[in-house]
Amino acid sequence: MKKVIIAIIVLAIIVAGFWIIFLQFEPTKKAAKEPTITANKTTKKTENPVSEIAIPTLFVHGYSGTANSFGGMINRLADEGDVTKSLVMTVASDGTVSTEGTYDKFSNNPTIQVIFEDNKSSTENQTQWIQNVMKELKNNYHIEKVYAVGHSMGGVSLTSYIEKVGSDKAYPVLEKLVLIGSPLNGLVIGDDGVTAYDLTDKGPKQSSDRYSEFMKNKQNIPTHLRVLNIAGDTLNGTKSDGSVSVASALSGKFIFEGQAESYKEKIFTGKNAAHSKLHENTDVDAEVANFLWGIEKVD
């Protein structure tokens, strides 16, 4: 009988010991489950990353330009899948901006075509109108960064805008600029390809008022800006695209180089390098696509 009692006592002690151990282990076991749930939530988030916000590109036409000026280039780039046609912003002569189209910040390289109703106005007016467009993009579309392409006077006005606005945070940051046939140092063309405005290693031999103003204010050019400057030479002996001399266009080197982050220039030649054909030239399309979006086109 005594042995039975001792056995019962020993069994009770063993059971009590296991119960104590269980009670101690259970909170730890429950606590260990919580990080597992958190880890699963984190994994689900990484499986569905947020799409990257695209940087839109503005296209600004030249003197006497219309929607057709850059319409062809935008259509070709869209057909190739390089861009998404988005907004058309028309500026009235009083500076009022009206907008057509839709803008999706997650679309593929959205385009914004800028059209001036008074398409023969001054550089001063166009500079102000570009400011109005940029403020509209910043305030109503919450666009923080942009690229821009300007043909002829459009490039002149964009350059003027850049020097006027500088790094003012009231406007989107202009990161890349493409100039196409822009007369940055006047419109003089020599029949034999020689003018008083020809370039030397240190700059043009003679400066127009426009060029002098650009040089005076070049310190306002943001140091993060990257520039591609395109000129045309029809090879007819005038060293020009028929409207703008190569020297005038490439005087941009002395305006941007040393101030902007980078400056690159390209000369296109032949009949398709004529002033109004530059923005219809598919080789120019390819150069623009490569510079702005890193798209390399294979012939």
Cβ-contact 183, 123 below 8 angstroms: no
pLDDT digits (tens, 9 = 90+) for 119-168: 999 999 999 999 999 999 999 999 999 999 999 999 999 999 999 999 99
Selection from 249, 209, 95, 221 nearest residue 164 by Cα: 221
Give me the mean pLDDT over the 93-97 stretch. Answer: 98
Neighbours of 63 (CB within 10 A): 18
Cβ-contact 267, 219 below 8 angstroms: no
If you average pLDDT over every residue of the chain, what do you get?
A: 88
Q: What is the pTM of this model?
A: 0.83
Residue reference for tokens 């385009």: 111
Q: How far is CA 275 from the centre of its chain?
A: 24
Cβ-contact 153, 63 below 8 angstroms: yes
Selection from 258, 270, 259 nearest residue 231 by Cα: 270
Which segments of the chain does DSSP mark as H helices, in order?
A: 2-47, 67-79, 123-140, 153-165, 209-216, 246-250, 252-256, 282-293
pLDDT digits (tens, 9 = 90+) for 178-200: 999 999 999 999 999 999 999 99
